[in-house]
């Protein structure tokens, strides 16, 4: 492990000298220090995981251990994030605890774990926690056989060592996976108050199992969720994320969600669901809007624009909505009036959300649309108001209208605007068709829904 930093430092020195950059020796020393620190951090992470279960290696395992450690060292030198190194170290520790260090098994897992993003690691933690916490529904001999089959399948798919994190459901912290810090007795994230990297981990944990830290500069104490929207909540982040996802996705009232989780032993009131939605729904909507920004295609430049009605505090308000030729969402905006200013604001918002200017816009016959299109989108955009051309958008209104029907209206304009935008963004993200009237097989629908729902949960958990 000591040859690679010296080689990289020599290459950096030669490159800086070739370009005539002054201070090349200082830059070389700085690079050597960074690479040396990275190697020390990777070593400390591995030692921290292995010292929980010490045992003597057999003589036949030496070659296997050398191959495993070489792959781990190569991942550290390639700049693998510390959170991913922690997962790889846990797999090594799990194999050592089981008494069977196998290089081929570790290499298969290492290639996957080294490239995971932080959102994917959070989803992996939630899935492992749910899998290990679920027991057999049937009691007796049949339940015992089902439990053994479930354990065998889990051992084949989940590396030994990662399942030990299941009680907390967390594989890291709120800090970014690429930020290196102290390990062993150190930290995974910078101070949320002053931003200092001089952070020490405390031995105790919070009541929900999250790690606690103390800043050595400002002496403030914080935990993994202190910098997020779920700070000081009394329930785990994955539970709150699932509540908000079901709230936005399905036709459930606040009290319906409270009763559903009551049957699972999780007790909270309907007002808690309202507070969680107010905190997490804007985060989810903003992230989904960012992901679809700039995505073009054959049907993305043909917009269908219309407005529908929603009752807010007993008065009808106008919900501007637009979809493209493929049926994908363009934008959603709630307005108190249906006039020129509202139409112009909607087109500006749609252009900012998609990053595109359409070639053609289809609307109804309202008089505010022609001038709003000319002033915000340009005179080259074709505008048509033919009869029945907007039928696909009229049918698409059923999604938000059917979802809000069981809510019996909104009490405030801000909550109505937040809910409608979040619902439409999530509905479009979970939409399985890529074009109008496309047939999607049932097995593919299930796979796509699980994958996209897990991605939405990862956004909510990491908020």
For 200-256, how does the pLDDT look when each residue is reduced to its tens digit (9 = 90+)? 888 888 877 788 888 877 888 888 888 788 887 888 888 999 999 999 999 999 999
**302-431: what CATH class?**
alpha beta
CA gap 91, 159 in Å, rounded: 6
The tokens describing 281, both together, are 């729904």
Q: What is the mean pLDDT of residues 152-170?
A: 45
- CB 430, CB 454: distance < 8 Å: no
- Asked which of 125-134, 263-272, 413-422, 441-450 is least confident by mean pLDDT, the reply is 125-134
Average pLDDT of the chain to the nearest whole number: 76
Q: Are strands 382-384 and 360-362 parallel, antiparallel or unpaired?
A: parallel
What DSSP string describes 13-41? HHHHHHTT-TTHHHHHHHHHHHHHHHHHH
Contact 306, 394 (CB under 8 A): yes
Residue 248: the pLDDT is 93
The pLDDT tens digits for 298-348 are 788 899 999 999 999 889 999 999 999 888 899 999 999 999 999 999 999
Please count the other Cβ atoms lying within 10 Å of the Cβ belonging to residue 274: 13
The ranges assigned to domains in the chain are 3-165, 185-227, 302-431
Whole-model pTM? 0.59
Q: How far apart are CA 282 and CA 121, in angstroms?
A: 23
Taking 90 as the threshold, does the pLDDT of residue 55 lie above it?
A: no
Mean pLDDT confidence for 265-274 = 91
Question: What is the band of 170 on the pLDDT scale with cuts at 50, 70, 90?
Answer: very low
Residue bearing tokens 């020129």: 340
Q: What is the pLDDT of residues 192-202, one digit of tens each?
A: 777 777 778 88
Contacts of 9 (CB under 8 A, 6+ apart): 28, 29, 31, 32, 35
Residues 432 and 159: their CA atoms lie apart, in Å, by 31
Q: Can you give the pLDDT at residue 1? A: 41
């Amino acid at each position: 492990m000591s040859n690679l930093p010296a080689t990289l430092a020599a290459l950096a020195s030669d490159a800086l000298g070739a370009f005539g950059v002054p201070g090349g020796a200082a830059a070389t020393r700085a690079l050597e220090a960074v690479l040396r620190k990275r190697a020390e951090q990777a070593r400390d992470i591995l030692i921290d995981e292995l010292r929980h279960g010490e045992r003597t290696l057999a003589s036949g395992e030496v070659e296997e251990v050398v191959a495993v450690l070489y792959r781990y060292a190569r991942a550290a030198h390639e700049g693998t994030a510390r959170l991913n190194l922690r997962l790889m170290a846990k797999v090594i520790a799990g194999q050592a605890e089981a008494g069977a260090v196998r290089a081929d098994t570790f290499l298969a897992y290492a290639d996957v774990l080294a490239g995971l993003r932080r959102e994917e690691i959070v989803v992996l933690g939630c899935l492992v926690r749910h899998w290990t916490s679920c027991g057999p529904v049937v009691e007796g001999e049949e339940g015992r056989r089902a439990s053994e089959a479930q354990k065998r399948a889990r051992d084949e798919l989940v590396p030994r060592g990662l399942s030990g994190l299941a009680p907390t459901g967390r594989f890291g912290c709120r800090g970014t996976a690429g930020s290196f810090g102290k390990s062993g007795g150190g930290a995974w994230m910078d101070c949320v108050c002053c931003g200092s990297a001089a952070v020490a981990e405390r031995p105790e944990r919070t009541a929900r199992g999250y790690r606690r830290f103390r800043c050595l500069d400002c002496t403030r104490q914080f935990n993994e969720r202190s910098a997020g929207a779920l700070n000081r909540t009394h329930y785990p982040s994955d539970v709150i994320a699932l509540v908000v996802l079901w709230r936005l996705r399905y036709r459930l009232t606040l009290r319906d969600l409270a009763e559903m989780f009551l049957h699972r032993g999780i007790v909270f009131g309907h007002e808690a669901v309202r507070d969680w939605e107010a905190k997490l729904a804007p985060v989810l909507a903003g992230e989904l809007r960012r992901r679809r920004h700039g995505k073009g295609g054959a049907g993305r430049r043909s917009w269908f624009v219309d407005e529908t009605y929603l009752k807010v505090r007993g008065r009808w308000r106008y919900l501007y909505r637009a979809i493209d030729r493929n049926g994908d969402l363009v934008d959603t905006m709630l307005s108190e009036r249906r006039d020129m200013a509202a139409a112009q604001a909607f087109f500006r918002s749609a252009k900012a959300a998609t990053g595109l200017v359409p070639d053609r816009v289809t609307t109804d016959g309202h008089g505010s649309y022609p001038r709003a299109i000319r002033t915000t989108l340009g005179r080259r955009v074709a505008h048509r108001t033919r009869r029945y051309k907007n039928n696909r958008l009229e049918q698409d209104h059923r999604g938000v209208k059917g979802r809000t029907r069981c809510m019996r209206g909104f009490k405030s304009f801000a909550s109505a605007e937040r809910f409608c935008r979040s619902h439409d963004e999530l509905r479009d993200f979970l939409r399985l068709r890529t074009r109008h009237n496309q047939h999607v097989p049932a097995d593919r629908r299930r796979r796509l829904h699980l994958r996209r729902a897990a991605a939405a949960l990862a956004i909510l958990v990491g908020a």
